[in-house]
Amino acid sequence: MTLTSQTLHDQAKAASTASRRLAAISTETKNAALIAIAEAIEANRQSILRANEQDQKAANRDGVDFQMMERMTLNNSRVKQMADAARNIAALEDPIGEILEKRDLPNGLNLERVRVPLGVIGVIYESRPNVTIDIAALCLKAGNGVILRGGKECILTNTVLARIVKDAIESVGVPRDVVQFVETTDRALVKEMLEMNDVIDLMIPRGSAELVNFVGQNAKMPAITGGVGVCHTYIDSDANLDDALKIVVNAKAKRPTVCNALDTVLIHQNVAREFLPRLAKEFGVHDVELRADGRAMSILGALSGGAKVVPAKSDDFGTEFLALIASVKIVDSIDEAMEHIAEYGSKHSEAIISENTEAVERFLNEVDSGTVFANTSTYFNDGAQFGLGAEVAISTNKLHARGPMGLKEITTYKWKVRGQGQVRN
């Protein structure tokens, strides 16, 4: 499809107009639209998978790397997860209309602060087709219009998904223009989108640091420009090492290509000699390459048995690997661990493994991150896992939202003021 900047602007304006109609639609109708989306995804599973197979073939021809291929690939389970996400969002309480604050002033004025939709959300994303469904569903429930611009690598899959969504919501009386999809891979139009602050109220990039930075530098509307995950797990001197081992392996190896996957293990010197060989052995089983600092290397250098251990370089700390690679550093204290996280972390997901309550509370209170964990895996940093149904993004910003962004994070509020003829002196 050939798109011009005018066509793109018309799409965003159509979403804006439709969102005003959506604001008056009942929760019951919005939920019916979400159930219709879930049923349509299931009914069209084969056509979704066929389109995705074509995208995979094209990506292979283009030499797309493993990380992107893993993220873009659909199977029966992942298609089911998309349908489940739409149903889960339908089951959530509708945030729109919630009274956040209510009071009467001495002059008789009645004030209410009420939750309302943001308006139109623009999303520029790469590789993961579930984003098309997750964000469309969340925006619908929160009363927002949305304009989606997926990446070249998944254009056919996303086009099919967007049409399924639009047809499904229209079938129950929701205006199809609420959801807009940019059916082109022309990168020049990305810059055009970022200049449409007259019709797009919030911009969300989902993908590489390069994309996030580009949006941050060029968006004329507010943008969520965090989300890159450089994630640490600190193994304290009082850690349960059996728990630590399974948690670290889960955080690194379960799905290494996602933003909440572990990148660096920090290990207290008191447990390093016991824990490191066990970690290296288990990482070897999962084909994880371990990049060790000098002190860790002195413990692991003579290891064999399939573990791949190499000396860490300076840039192995502060890197989001998105692969079966983890760096490891031995630290002398929790303070050194937190200082390392402050220097190299991205404020996404940080964890401590410890049975020392004081150490745990210090870490949870003092580490500056959108989400902090104690005695569990950073892989849990996910909107669905947090009971939000899905997420539009995981924000590392401090304004306007932080951590997994669900329904409430894509709303705003307005004041309603009721009087009986009062005038201001």
Q: Does the CA dihedral 342-345-348-349 come out positive or negative?
A: negative
Q: How far is CA 3 from the centre of its chain?
A: 28
Long-range contacts: 364-369, Cβ < 8 Å, 24+? 366/338, 367/338, 367/341, 367/342, 368/342, 369/341, 369/345, 369/396
Alpha-carbon distance 103 to 97, whole Å?
16
**Domain range list for the chain:** 5-226+397-418, 231-380
Is pLDDT at 100 greater than 80 in this prediction? yes
Exposed (0-12), middle (13-18) or buried (19+): which is 410, by Cβ within 10 Å? buried
> pLDDT by residue (tens digit) across 354-391?
999 999 999 999 999 999 999 999 999 999 999 999 99
**Fold agreement between 5-226+397-418 and 231-380:** no
Rounded average pLDDT over 309-333: 96
Question: Of 235, 231, 229, whose CA–CA distance to 329 is shortest?
Answer: 235
Is pLDDT at 21 greater than 90 in this prediction? yes
Q: Show the tokens assigned to 97.
A: 């209309």
Collapse the DSSP code of 145 into the 3-class scheme (helix H, G, I; strand E, B; otherwise coil) and give the result: strand
Rounded average pLDDT over 195-219: 93
Report pLDDT for 67.
86
Rounded average pLDDT over 93-103: 97
Task: Indicate the pLDDT class of residue 38, thresholds 50, 70 and 90.
Answer: very high
Query: Hey, what CATH class is 5-226+397-418 in?
Result: alpha beta
Phi/psi class of residue 423: alpha, beta or left (left: φ > 0; alpha: ψ in -120 to 50)? beta
Q: How far is CA 83 from CA 38, 41, 391, in A?
A: 4, 6, 14
User: What is the model's pTM?
Assistant: 0.91
Q: How far is CA 76 from CA 49, 136, 355, in A?
A: 8, 20, 40
Amino acid at position 6, single letter: Q
Amino acid at position 82, single letter: M
> pLDDT by residue (tens digit) across 69-97?
999 999 999 999 999 999 999 999 999 99
Report pLDDT for 1.
45
Rounded average pLDDT over 248-271: 97
Could you tell me if 326 and 252 are in contact, meaning their C-beta atoms sit under 8 angstroms apart?
yes
Average per-residue pLDDT for the chain: 94
Q: Which fold has domain 231-380?
A: Aldehyde Dehydrogenase; Chain A, domain 2 (3.40.309)
Give 279-307 as a DSSP string: HHHHHHHTT-EEEE-HHHHHHHTT--SS-
> pLDDT by residue (tens digit) across 210-239?
899 999 999 999 999 877 899 999 999 999
Is pLDDT at 304 greater than 70 in this prediction? no
Between 8 and 373, residue with greater pLDDT: 373
